[in-house]
Structure 1
Amino acid sequence: MKTLLLKKGEVSRLICMKEVIGAVEEAYKAFNSDQVEQPDYIGIHLPSPRGEIDFKLGYYKANEVISMKASSGGFIYNPTAHGVPSGMGTILLFDARSGAVICVMDGSLITGLRTGASGAVSVKALARKNAKKIASVGTGNQARMQIRAINEVMKIEGIHAWSRTLDTLSKFKTDIEREFGIPVIVASSKKEAVEQADILITTTRGKGELVEAHWVKPGTHIVAIGTDQRGKQELDPELFRNAKIIVDSITQCTEKGETWHPLNSNIITKDDIHAEIGEILLGRKAGRESDEEITIFDSTGMAIQDNTTATKIYQNAIDNNVGTFFQFLE
């Protein structure tokens, strides 16, 4: 059996955001349909000034593919010392029927793509149908990815953006207006941005409460992206008291997601979590039930999203004769 090698440039040409959104929807439904085996991910933290490497593994019974993604980050001296980025990713796809490696692909783009798509999936399922304005707390690469994805599922009339760094905020405004023609209003404060939101996106590496509960107007849908490990936080835990809480994985979100904070503060219990998003997509649980509800989607990211997205890229590569085949066993 031959193995396909896909480099970063090839991966970027082999999938569009609309396909990634479909792959993420498939992943969420599969997760809540007993089609997925997904062990807890593991990480290795290396001595400073080096960073960490995380490994996420997922098996999807329907496509008989096992995926393993290795993601590194925080290697701040890599560009000058080693001539490589400070963070990288690699994905291996295995045929679950034989255990053979069928594909080795660059994984540096996939995490950003499927995380952006997760926000769009939640918007489709949970935002008000008349939502028009987005507030973005954080204006880095993932904020851009969220806009790219959400722009596929709704018409965005304006974006109110805030960042701690004015240069980053200015570049975000320039880039988004040039790419999409959507006006970006630079907010003078977090509060000013949040108060305008029909949909609030948080994509920071926050270490404390960035968004206060009383800033959020009724009917807002919140896409909470930045908190994926203990120590990170973006939302006032009080926001969860009267909101409809939806997560990607209850296990992950209650241990290291934004939902951990209100649980730890005894503001909510696990019984107050309304659903995993796959349950809503499958029609087993209700989504938004009124225009006054505040809905929160807590996304920590799952290996099955990498699996379905990478498998789609692999299939597109085969269909379009892209990549290089090699053989381990000769």
Structure 2
Amino acid sequence: MTLPVFGLDAISQVAKPAVVFDAVRSALIAHAEGRTSVPAPMVLEFPQYAGDTHVKAGHVAGTPYFVVKVASTFGSVNNGLVLAVDATNGQPAAVLADEGKLTAWRTAAAGALITHAMTPVGVDEVAVLGTGEQALLQILWLHELRPLRRVKVWGRRPEAVDRLCTQLQSAGLHATPDGLTGAPCVITTTAAREPLPLDAFREAIHITGIGTDMPGKGELPPALFANAFVATDDHAQCLHHGDLANAVQAGVIGAEDDVAAGVILRDGMPSRAAPPAPAPTPGARPLSTTFPRNHRSIADLTGVGATDAAVAGAILGQLVR
């Protein structure tokens, strides 16, 4: 058997944002409705090389492939690959040698989709905390879904902040190095192991946390979760090693006080002034009964193997047709 291997050039030709958005949205909804198979992720750490590797797997019921994905970050260098396996007979179907880009793109899509869905219409000012590839992608992919008037940037290294501002400005966005001054929408994309400065969130109506993807990390100050409307991409993962877990351990929020992100993508946000109308779908975590207007919303995203499967399947379908 000769196993097809598709490199990044071929993958990039077909991995258009619309394809990735559709795959991630459908996978998160399926996950919320219990139509996925997603084992617990595995993480290997290499502190002597400033590296960590995440191994995730997943399958969306009714789709042709399940996947096993390896995604690594060593310093500022990302890499990885995805093995797609025929879900009807276990036969390896292809390797997507994506150099970690499919992980980056599905993370960007998931963040942009849920940020857009949970942030009130008309909000066009965003603060991004973090200066790496994912910080750039979160803003660019969110801008695909809604116009952004201003982006505020914060990072620990001034040169990295300046670089990201320049990249965003090159994309036609007004970007300034003042991410700690507050914004109605805040996106965090760091590898922080201590909470980020509380001042950065003081004006936040909505917050999306991207970077807390393994035990020991924590971006969002637990106090932010008090009285917040919280959505998670995977309840068990976020309760194990997300910012939700840190808030629960701090006694700020209950272990069951979250809603599946896929429910939000399927049904929309409840009113910020009144209880939501739709009843929950069997298998889905229910929406909160109230969402007071003056309370913020938070999305805690840890990365779900089902989205990797959906994106890989969509890309492979384009490559082999």
**TM-score scaled to structure 1, two decimals?**
0.85
**Identity value in percent:** 26
Q: Pairwise mapping of residues 71-220 of structure 1 onto structure 2 (< 5 A)?
A: 71-74=71-74, 86-107=77-98, 108-179=100-171, 181-187=172-178, 190-192=179-181, 195=182, 197-212=183-198, 215-217=201-203, 220=205
Match of 1:25 in 2: 25
Q: Which runs of 5+ in 2 are unaligned?
A: 274-292
SS in 2 for 1:293: coil
Task: Give the corresponding residue for 2:13.
Answer: 13
Q: 1:112 to 1:176 in 2, by over 3 A?
A: same
Structure 1 unmatched runs, 5+: 77-84, 320-330
Q: 1:207 to 1:47 in 2, by over 3 A?
A: closer
Q: Which residues in structure 2 correspond to 1:288-327 (within 5 Å)?
A: 289-290=272-273, 292-319=294-321
Q: Secondary structure at the match of 2:243?
A: coil
Match of 2:282 in 1: none
- The 1-side partners of 2:151 and 2:131 are apart by 11
Match of 2:281 in 1: none
Counterpart secondary structure, 2:219: strand
Cα displacement (A) at 1:267: 1.1
Contact 2:39 2:57 (8 Å CA) reproduced: yes
Q: Distance in 2 between matches of 1:306 and 1:224?
A: 19
> Which secondary structure state, in structure 1, belongs to the residue aligned with residue 256 of structure 2?
helix
Instruction: Provide the rounded CA distance (Å) in 1 between the counterparts of 2:168 and 2:62.
Output: 37
Shifted more, 65-74 versus 23-32: the winner is 65-74
Mapped contact 1:2–1:102 kept (Cα < 8 A):
no
Shift of 1:48: 3.5
Change (3 A) 1:231 1:317: same
Conservation of the 8 A alpha-carbon contact between 1:160 and 1:184: yes
How far apart are residue 2 of structure 1 and its match? 6.2
Asked if the contact 1:127–1:288 (Cα under 8 Å) also holds between the matched residues in 2, the reply is: no
Name the SS for the 1:315 alignment partner. Answer: helix
In the alignment, what sits opposite 2:212? Answer: 227
Instruction: State the shift of 1:232 in Å.
Output: 1.2
Equivalent runs, 1:35-74 vs 2, <5 Å: 35-45=35-45, 48-49=48-49, 51-74=51-74
What is the aligned-residue RMSD (CA, Å)?
2.1
For residue 59 of structure 1, what is the amino acid of its counterpart? H
The alignment covers a number of residue pairs equal to 301
Residue 23 of structure 1: SS of its match in structure 2?
helix
**Secondary structure, in 3 states, of the residue corresponding to 1:208?**
coil
Deviation at 1:149, TM superposition (A): 0.9
1:230-249 paired onto structure 2 within 5 Å? 230-249=215-234
Distance 2:319 2:303 in 1: 25
2:131 alignment partner, SS class: coil
SS in structure 2 of the partner of residue 282 of structure 1? helix
Higher Rg of the two aligned structures:
1
C-alpha separation in 1, matches of 2:131 and 2:107:
15
| Higher mean C-alpha displacement, 105-114 vs 1-10 | 1-10
Normalised by the length of structure 2, the TM-score is: 0.87
The residue that corresponds to 1:265 in the other structure is 250
Q: 1:186 deviation in Å?
A: 1.5
Equivalent residue number for residue 279 of structure 2: none
Give the match's secondary structure for 1:246: strand
**Offset at residue 205 of structure 1 (A):** 0.9
Bigger shift: residues 300-309 or 285-294: 285-294
Query: What is the SS of the residue equivalent to 1:93?
Result: strand
Which amino acid letter does the alignment assign opposite residue 250 of structure 1?
A: H
